[in-house]
Chains A and B, each alone.
Chain A
Amino acid sequence: MKVKFNIFLFFLLQVCAVWGQQTIKGLVTDTENKPIPDVTIYSLKEKKLIKTNADGSFSLQLSDTDTLQISSIGYKSLRIPVRKIEGNLFKLEKLQMELEAVTVSTGYYQISKERSTGSFAYIDSALLNRSVSSDIISRLEGVTNGVNFDRRGSFYADDKPSIQIRGLSTINGNTQPLIVLDNFPYDGDIYSINPNDIASVSILKDAAAASIWGARAANGVIVITTKKGTRDRPASISMNTNVSFSEKPNLFYNPNFLSSSGFIEMEQALFERGFFNAAENSSAQMPLTPAVELMIKARDGELSDELLKESLSQLGLLDVRKDATKHFYREGFMQQYALNIKGGGKQFDYYLSGGYDRDIADIKGNDNDRITLNAQNNFTPIANLTVSTGLYFIKSSTNANGMRLNDIRPGGRHIYPYAQFADTQGNPLAIIDRYRLGFVENAEQEGLLNWDYRPLQELALNNQKRGSDEILINTAVRYDIKPFLNLDLKYQYQRINGDAYNLRSADSYYVRDLVNRFTQADGTSVFPEGAVLNQSYSKQIAHVGRAQLNFNKQLGLQHELTALAGMEMRQVNVTGQSFQLLGYDPEVLTYQNMFDYTRLYPQRPNGTSRLPAPSSSLQDLLDRYVSYYANASYSYRSTYALTGSVRWDASNLFGVKVNQRGVPLWSLGGSWTLNQEPLFQADWISLLKLRLTYGFNGNVDKSSTAYVTAAYLNDNLTGLRRALIQSPGNLQLRWEKVGVWNAGLDYALWNNRVRGSVEFYNKRATDLLGDIPLDPTVGFTGVYRVNYADMQTRGLDLEVNTSNIQGTFSWQSTLLLSLVKDKVINYNAEDITPVDLFTASSIPRPMEGLPLYRVYSYPWLGLDAETGDPLVMLNGNISKDYNAYIQQVGMDDLVYHGPAMPTLFGSLRNTFGWKGFSLSATLTWKAGYYFRRNSISYDALFNQSIGHLDFYGRWQRPGDELVTDVPSLPETADVNRDLVYTRSEVLIEKGDHIRLQDLNLSYTLANPKKLGLPISGLSFYCYARNLGILWRANKNRLDPDFQTAPYPLTKTFSLGVNITL
């Protein structure tokens, strides 16, 4: 109704506004008298709307009674009645909460976020530097919409997470986003780039944003832009240094543990049943725990029952986690120093930086050093020509001698809970490993080397290190052919040399064990007594060249056309070699190589074995890509914009036929800036922009081959060399394709106090690689991977930034919320059985109509009231035939819970400011998913020594079945009995949780010069990370991100200072 009335009014005014007209000519500037182009000039009465020109000028006919509204993003709107206009200068005041015109980068072009149609997330330097870390990737967690850090595949909490932008859109292919450093895909380890050199990060999420990257864009693109110099600025030096501390890992987190007393109790029960008899009598001298050895002694009368009892109760007091925490872990310590100089003259600018990072890990023996050097130069030797050079150097070295508790596996089992690594004086103690105690103790008497395994001693006896140095050279030439047309030529060279060194000294347990095992009856060993060296080298060399034409022209006052077209060639060559030397002497670099690896030697304690053949390997991989691309955008009156892009890729990874045909990937987009329309002219609307895009992105899978491959062997009938086909190749192998719809609304209201965006997307992935049975007529039988499967991912990204309180005390909030749901639409899943569903979750088992990763379980019928055995439903009857149940259970019998990956996640960041102080906190959450928690598996307990705290809550006597679901301790282990419990619905937990991700407190000195300090900027900051979970849906105090990890991420605290000269 109101709209209708407005429209009516609009026409009415058009008719009436005839008298009292005057022409107003004006100039809009900021408070520093710099003209502002593109300012909206709007007359409230007559509803006239124009824009200022590039020089900030405008001219408009208005009646005396009208009122002018002058507004522009980032400035306070100005309203002035025509009568009151004096002079022709209109000054706009900058908004306190600065809304800089954000320029996002795609790696091929920069575009202001205002003019884009696509879905870009932009993280500026301030937000990046809010966190402290030695890498850039971890700084993106919790600050970007639609980006999920997936840790399901990690064993250790600090393993690098897998990053998903807007969920999954592939089944068997690569899921990682493409990472672009400045202009080119980065083929090194992105964790090695110094975050202090990063100016901003753009994340390209939809087709319009990413499709310029064509066949590699399906998983989204992360574009990292490095810092550059600035023209006409004197040199400015900036320093940033910080130190971080991290807690010792919390080994008490993981519930897969039985206390020593409980464990010994269990061992005693098993001992009485003769469980250890086989090991005790084995000629292989299979190891037995110290407690069992004591029991044997007592049984054989070598130890009195009282002494046994006392010894066992003493062992029962020990806790290996305590001991390991003390001897293998420490507080982590990280130092970071970064220095940069930037500036420029009329014809040149430069940015030079150096960085040093030292990370002393929380595992003793592990540390890392990194040096980065960076020099970026641009100069304009003659008008129209700009030459850029860049040199980036990274050298890192890592010591990896540390041992984690999970690395110590006596006899291939979990460590027993009463193991001790050092005596009270700190002397390393031996623990059991491959053989029985008595056998090991006798070794030296038999003329063998000491056969003790002392884990703590090993830390010093092994030397494992890795190093890499990387050089990245960029050259670019830009020539302005016409003011609106330029040619850009770029070339990048990258070389990464990596080496790994693993020396196991002659005294190491590894060597002593092999020497002893291969000691022959005459007392000599066929395995040499020297050190064992494993070494490997790798070299990666990448060349990229690009030629690009850029066009940008204002056509008249209201039309603007931007276009670019180019081609690119890329080659990445990875070569590597590795070798092993036996009998190595690190002092004089000699080794032995006269061994007979084919002969079977008698081995101690029993059997025969060949010498372990040294592993050597060579690698030579070569990837080549050729791409052609073009992109154009057209805008009218700064209100309507149309964009389009197209890209054609070819690679030696794809099938020849596909390369010859070349299917282009394209996108189209449009945007409508509503607030430029008279209808939406309101005081409280600063920005209202609708966007809609559609297009295709691709995904490359390097594991499938377009070529026929063969192996050779000799023919049985003729003895001639014959070829056996390994893979028939697929000439039509092509990239996976994802069609993406994206609809978005950008808004800024009440002078930007509320601003953000909301976006809906629908991705439909087609041509996904899936396995199909092949028609034998083509000449190859078996399952074969081709492009045919489909998947759909839908979601919503919401961003709300609010400036709640402004003034001396300020409060701002940023809310990010992402909803994402994926579904497999087409996949040949005939052979999926209920058993498959429970195997490792990292292998996709796609099922049509369901999320790619999801959680199923067996229905739970409770425990037998008499025995505490789990019950199952077999052919309509309550049964305990677990084997038959597992074999026969059908898909329909299973309980479906839901997705295994978060479907709702996001973050909330609140920032409080007072004078120079700023305090901010990030909450992150994940919800809408399920996980299967661990519990006691008696088979794992008996045979692998893996306990679980649920053991204490097990069924012990009738009546317990009413309060517990944990089955009773069985006489003998039955894997299937364990499985019907561990795969049951009672162990499925909701993954929902809220986490306090980090806290940042900083103080910036307002004007150091005033205080007589010879600096222009100074700030101090404290930062704390991984502060823990605030709320979780599961009652077991499990961290759903790290629910099977030995320990969660450690809390980290940092202190730092930033100085600008």
Chain B
Amino acid sequence: MLLAISILFGCQKDFLDIKSDKKLVVPTNLKDLQSLLDNTERMNILMPYLTEISADDYYVRADRYQSLSSLTMKSAYVWAKDFVYQNNSSSDWDWRYEQVFLANLALEGLDKIERNSNNAKDWNNIKGSALFYRSWAFYQLSQLFCKPYDSTTANTDLGIPLKRESDINEKVFRATVKETYEQMLNDLSEAIDLLPTVSNPKTRPSKAAAHAFLARLHLLMGNYANAAEHAAASITLADKLMNFNDLDATANYPVPQFNDEVIFHSSMLGALILRENRLIVDSVLFDSYQADDLRKKIFFYYDGENRYKGSYDGTRELFTGLASDEVYLILAECYARLGMTGNAIELMTTLLENRYAKGTDLSLGTLNQEQLLYNIIAERRKELVFRGLRWTDLRRLNKETAFKVTLKRELNGVQYELLPNENSYVLPIPPNIIAINGIEQNER
């Protein structure tokens, strides 16, 4: 009998592992796991909009502001100290953690499937993709709810909850900023070896995308050498640039979806305040485009005000993914900062040749390192406008005296100001989250 019991004991785990209703589709095989990740609604599109709403590339008229019903948007626009979330919650938080949940599910599913020579390609792709997507969510959250990365304080600055298990009963707590960034760096490094060189469709991650993403992260962290290394690696895999001379500037949306520059497709949740008939492009920014800069006509149109139409999504939705133009700019900036001005100028020339009208003189040769960096940062702002990156750049560059700016808005004669490195550069965590799990709130 003891023998019988021990045999029963031995197989008990398998005995109870079976699902009780066949109709329940429990994602278990590779195809199902891939389907979890192919849910573009959570993995690629509808990304946080609070970054762009808070940024300074645009403004809205007071009546347009007043007519907004979302208190979240209203608070974000004026960097309100007493930030109010509509319904006390925010999809910018909720949906990113849904993305994390899906990625975790896929990763846990893989733990139960043995990798062999037959399934290695799919298995690797799912593992690499899940790590990438999870980092993508963590990245979006970190730009909203954590302080900008500062190597001196990252060890104590509050990060985001790093959910690494799908178990919904797991206790949630905030990691540090350092842990948050390290999580992304480690996951992406692991993903690089697993992902295919390029991906199809572009909603799926690739090696090129992982390098580009790492370059972006290292740039944020001030690791210029690492950023340069990954940017260069990305460019070797995906170096294509669109020549804006070939685009139809009169089209409603001149830049096509999934175009040659797109490495990883992602777009922002449509915000009413950012709709093309509401937002007015910041005049200083608009005026910074020179007359022979094709972007002036391709990115913007005029209907009494300057409006934006240059999304890499090819629609009115704002593109927030990874594209080769950004990688060129990262690499150029890093080269400039590392003193490799020659390389920086070469890269910038290549990029700008594709942006300016044919025959424009692009001589950057006379600039010194400081001027060159300043020039690259200015080009960066012009190139990556309405890509969800401005807020991140503000947070990053405000640490450097040369690039510090104070943001100003005005509504019906009331002035609003956001000083460099102010606490309001970190958004409060939505109150419903605090109420349920009791994690620490950000200072405002």
Taking Cβ atoms with an 8 Å cutoff, the residues of A that contact B are: 487, 489, 547, 549, 567, 569, 619-624, 626, 650-653, 656-657, 659, 702, 705, 707-712, 715-718, 720-725, 728-732, 773-781, 784, 786
Q: Report the minimum CB–CB distance from B45 to chain A (whole Å).
A: 7
Q: Report the minimum CB–CB distance from B19 to chain A (whole Å).
A: 6
**Bound complex: CA of A776 vs CA of B89, how far in Å?**
9
Q: A569-B15, A650-B16 are in contact. Are A619 and B40 (CB under 8 A)?
A: no
B25 touches A712 (CB 8 A): yes
Question: Closest A-chain residue to B15, C-beta based?
Answer: A624
**Bound complex: CA of A176 vs CA of B440, how far in Å?**
45
**Bound complex: CA of A724 vs CA of B44, how far in Å?**
15
3 nearest interchain CB pairs? A779-B101, A620-B22, A776-B94
**Bound complex: CA of A773 vs CA of B436, how far in Å?**
8
**Bound complex: CA of A729 vs CA of B5, how far in Å?**
31
Question: What are 17 A-B pairs at a CB distance below 8 A?
Answer: A620-B21, A620-B23, A624-B20, A626-B12, A652-B20, A709-B24, A710-B35, A715-B39, A717-B201, A723-B32, A724-B39, A773-B432, A776-B98, A778-B163, A779-B99, A780-B98, A781-B94
| B293 contacts A by Cβ under 8 Å | no
**Bound complex: CA of A724 vs CA of B27, how far in Å?**
10
Which of A569, A621, A720, A779 is within 8 Å of B97, CB to CB? A779
| B100 contacts A by Cβ under 8 Å | yes
Q: A650-B16, A730-B169, A778-B163 are in contact. Are A710 and B201 (CB under 8 A)?
A: no
Which of B12, B24, B99, B168 is within 8 Å of A774, CB to CB? B168
| B437 contacts A by Cβ under 8 Å | yes
Q: A730-B169, A776-B433, A779-B104 are in contact. Are A652 and B17 (CB under 8 A)?
A: yes
Q: Report the minimum CB–CB distance from A750 to chain B (whole Å).
A: 50
B24 contact set on A, CB distance < 8 A: 705, 707, 709
**Bound complex: CA of A82 vs CA of B399, how far in Å?**
109
B22 touches A621 (CB 8 A): yes
B101 contact set on A, CB distance < 8 A: 725, 728, 778-780
Contact with A along B160-195 (1 / 0, CB 8 A): 010100111110100000000000000000000000
B201 touches A720 (CB 8 A): yes
B437 touches A775 (CB 8 A): yes
B100 touches A779 (CB 8 A): yes
B105 contact set on A, CB distance < 8 A: 708, 725
Which of A621, A717, A778 is within 8 Å of B203, CB to CB? A717
| B338 contacts A by Cβ under 8 Å | no
**Bound complex: CA of A273 vs CA of B384, how far in Å?**
71
Question: Closest B-chain residue to A651, C-beta based?
Answer: B16
Q: A569-B15, A652-B19, A709-B26 are in contact. Are A718 and B168 (CB under 8 A)?
A: no
A717 touches B16 (CB 8 A): no
B45 touches A709 (CB 8 A): no
B284 contact set on A, CB distance < 8 A: none
B167 touches A547 (CB 8 A): no
| B212 contacts A by Cβ under 8 Å | no
Question: Closest B-chain residue to A572, C-beta based?
Answer: B20
**Bound complex: CA of A978 vs CA of B435, how far in Å?**
41
Q: Report the minimum CB–CB distance from B138 to chain A (whole Å).
A: 12
Q: Report the minimum CB–CB distance from A655 to chain B (whole Å).
A: 9
**Bound complex: CA of A207 vs CA of B328, how far in Å?**
72
B97 contact set on A, CB distance < 8 A: 776-779
Q: A708-B166, A710-B27, A773-B436 are in contact. Are A779 and B21 (CB under 8 A)?
A: no
Given contacts A650-B16, A705-B24, A728-B101, 18 further A-B contacts (CB under 8 A): A549-B1, A569-B8, A650-B12, A707-B19, A709-B26, A710-B26, A716-B41, A717-B40, A720-B38, A722-B41, A724-B39, A730-B169, A731-B168, A775-B436, A776-B433, A778-B101, A779-B100, A781-B98
| B414 contacts A by Cβ under 8 Å | no
**Bound complex: CA of A715 vs CA of B42, how far in Å?**
11
Which residues from 85 to 111 on chain B have a C-beta closer than 8 Å to any C-beta of chain A? 89, 93-94, 97-102, 104-105
Q: Report the minimum CB–CB distance from B36 to chain A (whole Å).
A: 5
| B251 contacts A by Cβ under 8 Å | no
A653 touches B20 (CB 8 A): yes
> Which of the four size classes fits the interface of chain B?
35 or more
B35 contact set on A, CB distance < 8 A: 710, 712, 720-723
**Bound complex: CA of A730 vs CA of B166, how far in Å?**
10
**Bound complex: CA of A159 vs CA of B39, how far in Å?**
47
| B18 contacts A by Cβ under 8 Å | yes
Q: A623-B20, A652-B19, A657-B167 are in contact. Are A776 and B12 (CB under 8 A)?
A: no
Question: Closest A-chain residue to B202, C-beta based?
Answer: A718
Q: A731-B169, A776-B432 are in contact. Are A567 and B5 (CB under 8 A)?
A: yes
Q: A722-B38, A780-B101 are in contact. Are A624 and B168 (CB under 8 A)?
A: no
A652 touches B166 (CB 8 A): no
A728 touches B166 (CB 8 A): yes
Q: Report the minimum CB–CB distance from B169 to chain A (whole Å).
A: 4
Q: Report the minimum CB–CB distance from B47 to chain A (whole Å).
A: 13
B172 contact set on A, CB distance < 8 A: 775, 777-778
Question: Closest B-chain residue to A772, C-beta based?
Answer: B436
Chain B CB within 10 Å — which of A652, A708, A710, A715 has the most?
A708
| B402 contacts A by Cβ under 8 Å | no
A652 contact set on B, CB distance < 8 A: 15-20
Which of B25, B39, B41, B437 is within 8 Å of A777, CB to CB? B437
**Bound complex: CA of A778 vs CA of B173, how far in Å?**
11
Q: A626-B16, A710-B32 are in contact. Are A779 and B98 (CB under 8 A)?
A: yes
B18 touches A622 (CB 8 A): yes
B36 touches A710 (CB 8 A): yes
B436 contact set on A, CB distance < 8 A: 773-775
B100 contact set on A, CB distance < 8 A: 779
A779 touches B22 (CB 8 A): no
A712 contact set on B, CB distance < 8 A: 25, 35
Q: A626-B12, A650-B16, A775-B437 are in contact. Are A708 and B38 (CB under 8 A)?
A: no
**Bound complex: CA of A732 vs CA of B167, how far in Å?**
8
Question: Closest A-chain residue to B436, C-beta based?
Answer: A775
B18 contact set on A, CB distance < 8 A: 622, 624, 652
Question: Closest B-chain residue to A727, C-beta based?
Answer: B24
**Bound complex: CA of A774 vs CA of B437, how far in Å?**
9
B45 contact set on A, CB distance < 8 A: 717
**Bound complex: CA of A382 vs CA of B220, how far in Å?**
84
Contact with A along B37-78 (1 / 0, CB 8 A): 011110011000000000000000000000000000000000
A721 contact set on B, CB distance < 8 A: 31, 35, 38
B25 contact set on A, CB distance < 8 A: 709-712, 723
Q: Report the minimum CB–CB distance from A694 to chain B (whole Å).
A: 29
**Bound complex: CA of A374 vs CA of B100, how far in Å?**
59
Question: Closest A-chain residue to B22, C-beta based?
Answer: A620
A724 contact set on B, CB distance < 8 A: 39
Question: Closest A-chain residue to B105, C-beta based?
Answer: A708
A730 contact set on B, CB distance < 8 A: 168-169
**Bound complex: CA of A652 vs CA of B12, how far in Å?**
10
**Bound complex: CA of A973 vs CA of B229, how far in Å?**
78
Q: A650-B16, A718-B201 are in contact. Are A779 and B102 (CB under 8 A)?
A: yes
B161 contact set on A, CB distance < 8 A: 777
Q: A717-B44, A723-B36 are in contact. Are A775 and B15 (CB under 8 A)?
A: no
Question: Closest B-chain residue to A652, C-beta based?
Answer: B16
**Bound complex: CA of A416 vs CA of B97, how far in Å?**
58
**Bound complex: CA of A656 vs CA of B21, how far in Å?**
16
A775 contact set on B, CB distance < 8 A: 172, 433, 436-437
A728 contact set on B, CB distance < 8 A: 101, 166, 168
**Bound complex: CA of A729 vs CA of B437, how far in Å?**
19
Question: Closest B-chain residue to A625, C-beta based?
Answer: B16
Which of B27, B99, B437 is within 8 Å of A723, CB to CB? B27
Question: Closest B-chain residue to A547, C-beta based?
Answer: B1
**Bound complex: CA of A707 vs CA of B436, how far in Å?**
23
B38 touches A621 (CB 8 A): no
Chain B CB within 10 Å — which of A652, A712, A715 has the most?
A715
Which of A549, A702, A707, A779 is within 8 Å of B168, CB to CB? A779
Q: Report the minimum CB–CB distance from B175 to chain A (whole Å).
A: 12
Which of A622, A716, A720, A776 is within 8 Å of B20, CB to CB? A622
